[in-house]
Structure 1
Amino acid sequence: MKLIHLLLALSLLVTLWACGSKASPDEKQATASIEETVVPVKLSPVSTVVRAEPVVASGLVSSAQEARLSFKIGGIVNRMFVDEGQSVRKGQLLATLDLTEINAQVSQAQFASEKAERDLGRVKSLYADTAATLEQLQNATTGTSLAKQNLTIAKFNQNYAQIRSTVDGTVTRKIANAGEFIAPGGPVYTISSNRPNDWVVRVGVSDKDWARLRIGNRASIKLDAYPDKTFSGTVSELAQAADPVNKLYEVEVRINPGGVKFAPGLFAKVTLVPAQSRSYTLVPIEAIVEGNGKEGFVYLLAEDKKHVRKIPIQIGFLDGDKVLLTNTLEGVEDVVTGGSAYLTEESTVVVK
Structure 2
Amino acid sequence: MKAVQFLLIFLLTGGMWACGTKAEESRKEKPVEQTDDTSIPVKLTKVESVVRTEPIVASGLVSSSEEAKLSFKVGGIIEKLYVDEGQPVRKGQLLATLNLTEINAQVSQAQFAREKAERDLNRVKALYADTAATLEQVQNATTGHDVAQQNLAIVKFNQNYAQIRSTVDGTVTRRTMNEGEFAAAGSPVFMISSTHKNDWIVRVGVSDKDWARLKIGNRATISLEAYPEKTFAGTVRELAQAADPATKLYDVEIRIDPGAVKFAPGLFAKVTLQPAQSRSYTLVPIEAIVEGDGKDGFVFALSDDRKHVRKIPVQIGFIDDNNVLLTNGLSGISNVVTAGSAYLTETSTVLLK
Normalised TM-score (structure 2): 0.83
> What is the aligned partner in structure 1 of residue 229 from structure 2?
228
Cα distance, 1:10 vs structure 2:
3.7
Q: Deviations over 1:72-125 (max 9, x none)?
A: 112232322222111112222111223333223223222322232222122112
Whether 2:351 is the aligned partner of 1:348: answer: yes
> TM-score, normalized by length of structure 1?
0.83
Distance 2:253 2:180 in 1: 38
* Equivalent residue letter for 1:85: G
Match of residue 63 from structure 1: 64
Q: Do the aligned residues in 2 keep the contact of 1:236 with 1:252 (CA within 8 Å)? A: yes
The equivalent of 1:268 in structure 2 is 269
Deviation at 1:51, TM superposition (A): 1.0
Match of 1:16 in 2: 20
* CA shift for structure 1 position 36: 9.6
Give me the whole-angstrom Cα distance separating, in 2, the residues matched to 1:155 and 1:91.
20
Query: Where do 1:175-254 residues align within 5 Å?
Result: 175-254=176-255
Matches within 5 A, 1:96-245: 96-245=97-246
* Distance in 2 between residues matched to 1:155 and 1:254, nearest whole Å: 41
C-alpha distance in 2 between matches for 1:179 and 1:64: 32
| Distance in 2, Cα, partners of 1:36 & 1:295 | 26
Q: Greater shift after overlay, 166-175 or 333-342?
A: 333-342
Q: In the aligned structure 1, how far is the partner of 2:7 from the partner of 2:36?
A: 48
Summarize the Cα distance change of 1:112–1:303 in structure 2 as closer, same or farther, 3 Å threshold.
closer
Equivalent position SS for 1:325: strand
Summarize the Cα distance change of 1:315–1:74 in structure 2 as closer, same or farther, 3 Å threshold: closer
SS at match of 2:242: coil
Structure 1 residues 183 and 348: CA distance shift in structure 2, 3 A: closer
Paired amino acid for 1:211: A
332 and 110 in structure 1: CA distance in 2 versus 1, 3 angstrom threshold: same
Of 334-343 and 83-92, more deviation after overlay is shown by 334-343
Worse overlay, 152-161 or 313-322: 313-322
Moved more, 340-349 or 55-64: 340-349
Q: Greater CA deviation, 209-218 or 260-269?
A: 209-218
> Contact 1:39–1:343 at 8 Å: present in 2 too?
no
Change over 3 Å in CA distance of 1:230–1:183 after alignment to 2: same
CA distance in 1, matches of 2:331, 2:134: 96
Kept in 2: contact 1:78–1:96 (CA 8 A) = yes
Partner of 1:278 in structure 2? Answer: 279
**CA deviation profile, 1:301-342 (whole Å, cap 9, x unmatched):** x889x8574553433211122222223756666655556556
Q: 1:318 maps to what in 2? A: 319
Partners of 1:147 and 1:209 lie apart in 2 by: 56
8 Å Cα contact 1:299/1:340 also seen in 2: no
Mark the CA change 1:330 to 1:23 in structure 2 (over 3 Å): closer, same or farther. farther
Structure 2: 5+ residue stretches without partners: none
In structure 1, C-alpha distance between the alignment counterparts of 2:84 and 2:8, rounded to whole Å? 123
Is 1:81 aligned to residue 82 of structure 2?
yes
Query: In the TM superposition, what whole-angstrom CA distance separates every residue of 1:2-21 from its partner, at most 9, and x where no partner exists?
Result: 97887566445324324434
Kindly state the Cα deviation for residue 47 of structure 1 after the two structures are TM-superposed: 3.5
Q: Are the aligned partners of 2:42 and 2:338 in contact in 1 as well (CA < 8 Å)?
A: no
CA positional deviation for 1:191 = 0.9
Measure, in 1, the Cα distance between the counterparts of 2:344 and 2:71.
69
RMSD, aligned α-carbons:
3.3
Whichever residue aligns with residue 245 of structure 1, its letter is: A
Letter in 1 for 2:316: I
> What is the Cα deviation at residue 241 of structure 1?
3.4
CA-CA distance at 1:71 after TM superposition: 1.1
Distance 1:343 1:142 in 2: 91
User: More deviation in 207-216 or 129-138?
Assistant: 207-216
Q: Secondary structure at the match of 2:108?
A: helix
CA offset at residue 199 of structure 1? 2.5
Counterpart of 2:103, as a letter, is: I
Matched residue SS, 2:189 = strand
Please state how far the C-alpha of 1:22 moved relative to its aligned partner.
6.0
Task: Quote how far apart the aligned CAs of 1:141 are.
Answer: 0.7
For residues 300 and 284 of structure 2, the distance between their equivalents in structure 1, rounded to whole angstroms, comes to: 9
- The alignment partner of 1:190 has SS state of strand
**3-state DSSP class of the match of 1:202?**
strand
Could you list the runs of 5+ residues in structure 1 that have no partner in the other structure? none
Matched positions, count: 343
Measure how far apart 1:238 and its partner are. 2.9
CA distance in 2, matches of 1:68, 1:81: 16
Counterpart code for 2:77? I
Partner of 2:68: helix, strand, or coil? strand
What per-residue deviation string (whole Å, max 9, x for no partner) do you get for residues 152-175 of structure 1? 111101110111111221101122
| Residues 129 and 334 (structure 1), Cα distance of their counterparts in 2 relative to 1, 3 Å cut | same
